[in-house]
Copies of this chain bind each other. A is one copy, B any other.
Amino acid sequence: MSSILKGNKINVSVFGQSHSEAIGCVIDGLPAGVKLDTLSIEKFMERRAPGRNKYSTTRREADKPVILSGLVDNTTCGAPLAMMIANTNTRSGDYGNIRTLPRPGHSDYAAAVKYNSFNDIAGGGHFSGRLTAPLCFAGSVCMQILKQKGIDIKAHIASVGGVEDEKFDPVNITDENIAEKEFPVINDDAGEKMKAEIEKARLDSDSVGGIIECAVTGVKAGFGEPMFDGIENRLAAAVFGIPAVKGIEFGRGFSSALLRGSENNDEFTVSDGTVRTKTNNHGGILGGITSGMPIVFRVAIKPTPSIGKPQQSVNLVTMEEEELLIKGRHDPCIVPRAVPAVEAVTAVTMLDIIL
């Protein structure tokens, strides 16, 4: 395991399994003297929490972060900021057969081989989406520091099951207050259609995937270390730490492959005495370095692998094919809850780069 989101300054060491005593993280390298807005952290984490609505799992979690160290009078003191969330639902018997019957689309089989079957399978163990809770905590802390430096991060659901939201205007991202919304989309009508897709999947005992678009505004030109410590390298490495992420693209990304250079190049102009580009197909990054334009990227989230339909698996003891029926209730779509997770790892990474 290497569950440390590593940076040059800031390292976030994440711990916990779905059903261990606690989950949490240690944030090493935060600057001293930052007063934390606890309410803001709670609101941020609430966006990720399950059970908010019928689109997510009904498992109840208190998800109350307990600060173990690193603060004096709610202000960072330079020492590592450690946080834990006690797990109340521990050691459920719901997961008994996963050990021998790996779930398709989950890490069960790969982890069984890697850890010689000693991995914790209850609730997905360390691979559970629940581990994004401490990430969201860390992200929220970093985001508060970024905001003081004029940097903002926001993300929305770009699509679910083929239903598309509007895109950010990559040249001028205004404050749509998406983070305040119960369902984080720009266009609420599109959001309703997405919800309908999710509900359909749920009724089918199935699930759907989607895409998240994320933008970082307010970053000046000149950050990022090419060739291998550039903004894209760093953000990509961080984002793939979120379960279910299967792709990332910056700016026009894969669709730039369809373009001519004359269409894809962003011409320069001057605005308020600053060099800007007229368009932002490059997603704010040129040669791995920030251009001063908003950083824009999209993240592909696969459909939740836990579905209610029977699936073919292999019994690892008998080595025979066997039908698997996953019990319990699961998110028919994890995309909404993944939105703050994407923002979170982006915040940690960008703060590390900016410092």
Contacts and interface: CB of A to CB of B under 8 A. Distances in A.
A250 to B, nearest CB: 5
Contacts of A66: 21
Contact of A69 (B22, B105, B306): B22
Q: Helix, strand, loop or mixed for chain A's interface?
A: mixed
Nearest to A250: B246
Contacts of A109: 221, 268, 275, 286, 291
Interface string A328-348: 000000000000000000000
A183 interface: no
A290 interface: yes
Contact of A321 (B3, B270, B291): B270
A234 B246 CA distance: 13
Interface in A68-113: 68-72, 75-82, 84, 102, 104-111, 113
Number of chain A interface residues as a range: 35 or more
Nearest to A318: B270
Contacts of A228: 2-6, 237-238, 240-241
A141 interface: no
Interface in A275-293: 275, 277-278, 281-283, 285-292
Contact of A278 (B17, B285, B287, B312): B312
A131 interface: yes
Contacts of A247: 247-250, 253-254
A2 B229 contact: yes
A237 B354 CA distance: 19
B252 A246 contact: yes
A275 B316 contact: yes
A127 interface: yes
Contacts of A234: 237
A3 B268 CA distance: 27
A42 interface: no
A187 interface: no
A15 B69 contact: yes
A189 interface: no
A288 to B, nearest CB: 7
Given A26-B26, A256-B300, A1 B80 contact: yes
A14 B227 contact: yes
Contacts of A9: 8
B258 A162 contact: yes
A122 B265 CA distance: 20
Across the A-B interface, the 7 shortest Cβ-Cβ residue pairs: A107-B287, A247-B249, A2-B229, A79-B126, A207-B261, A32-B115, A110-B289
17 contacts: A1-B28, A1-B225, A13-B26, A15-B80, A16-B82, A77-B126, A107-B287, A113-B289, A114-B221, A161-B258, A162-B258, A201-B261, A233-B236, A249-B300, A261-B307, A265-B311, A273-B319
